[in-house]
C-alpha cells in the first residue's frame, strides 16, 4: 500500500506503479485536486486500475460525476467499515457500483475520459487559462507538441476551439483553480 497526500504525488505513484496497481482509493479533496480532475487524470494514467472514491462530497451529486470520469464507485466518508470493505472487495472483483449516468453530458464525459494523460494535462492547462507556451513549460514539452495534443483534444471532444473544449470540460465539473498542470 502506498499513500499519496497530493494529486502530484498520486500521479507520480501511479506512473511508477502503472498496471501493477490493483486499486486506487481517492479523496476528491486532496491537495492539488479540484472538482473531478483527480479522477479523470488518474483514470487516464491507468485506465485498467479501478478507482474507488471515498469523500465527504455530496453523494447524490458526486456519484454520477466520478463514474463519468472512470471511477468504479463512490462512498461517503461516513459509511460503515463493513460497507467500505464490501465496496473495496467489489472493486477488486471488477464490479462497478450501479450509478445512473444516462444524461446528456454522458457522451462528453466518455470523450474526456478517453483522453490520454498528456492530452488531459493540456486540457487542464487550457482550463487554467494558460497559453500553449506556458503549458509546454509546465509539462516540459515543446510548444509544437502542446499544439499537437490540443488538436487531438479538439478532435476527441468533437469541438472547434479551445474555448469550446474548456466549456465542455467545465460543464462536467472538470475544473481547476489555477493550480497549473
Q: Identify the pLDDT of residue 175.
A: 60
In the predicted model, what is the mean pLDDT of the chain? 83
Q: What are the residues whose beta carbons fall under 8 Å from the beta carbon of 7, sequence distance 6 or more?
A: 30, 31, 32, 33, 37, 38, 41
Report all structural domains of the chain as residue ranges with CATH numbers, in order of start. 7-101 (3.40.50.2300), 108-171 (1.10.10.10)
100: exposed, middle or buried (Cβ count in 10 Å: 0-12, 13-18, 19+) = exposed
Q: Identify the pLDDT of residue 136.
A: 95
Q: Nearest 10 degrees: CA dihedral of 119, 125, 131, 136?
A: -60
| DSSP 8-state class, residue 104 | T
| Residue 179 near residue 128 (C-beta atoms within 8 A) | yes
More confident residue, 75 or 148: 148
More confident residue, 149 or 38: 149
Q: Identify the pLDDT of residue 180.
A: 45
Least confident interval from 28-32, 38-42, 56-60, 114-118? 56-60
Q: Identify the pLDDT of residue 166.
A: 84
Where residue 158 falls among pLDDT bands split at 50, 70, 90? confident
More confident residue, 48 or 68: 48
List, for residues 11-26, the tens digit of each pLDDT value. Answer: 888 888 877 889 999 9
Report the pLDDT averaged over residues 82-89.
89
What phi and psi, each to the nearest 5 degrees, are found at residue 159? -125, 165
Q: Which three cell numbers stand for residue 24?
A: 486506487
| DSSP 8-state class, residue 48 | T
Amino acid at each position: 500500500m502506498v499513500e499519496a497526500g497530493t494529486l502530484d504525488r498520486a500521479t507520480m505513484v501511479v506512473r511508477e506503479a502503472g498496471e501493477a496497481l490493483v486499486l486506487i482509493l481517492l479523496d476528491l479533496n486532496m491537495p492539488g485536486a479540484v472538482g473531478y480532475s483527480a479522477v479523470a487524470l488518474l483514470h487516464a494514467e491507468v485506465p485498467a486500475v479501478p478507482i474507488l472514491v471515498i469523500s465527504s462530497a455530496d453523494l447524490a451529486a458526486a456519484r454520477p460525476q466520478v463514474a463519468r470520469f472512470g471511477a468504479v464507485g463512490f462512498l461517503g466518508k461516513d459509511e460503515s467499515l463493513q460497507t467500505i470493505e464490501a465496496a473495496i472487495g467489489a472493486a477488486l472483483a471488477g464490479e462497478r457500483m450501479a450509478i445512473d449516468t444516462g444524461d446528456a453530458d454522458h457522451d462528453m464525459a466518455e470523450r474526456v475520459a478517453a483522453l490520454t494523460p498528456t492530452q488531459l494535462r493540456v486540457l487542464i492547462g487550457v482550463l487554467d487559462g494558460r497559453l500553449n507556451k506556458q503549458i509546454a513549460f509546465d509539462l516540459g514539452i515543446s510548444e509544437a507538441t502542446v499544439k499537437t495534443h490540443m488538436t487531438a483534444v479538439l478532435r476527441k471532444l468533437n469541438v472547434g476551439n479551445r474555448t469550446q473544449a474548456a466549456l465542455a470540460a467545465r460543464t462536467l465539473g472538470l475544473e481547476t483553480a489555477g493550480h497549473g498542470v
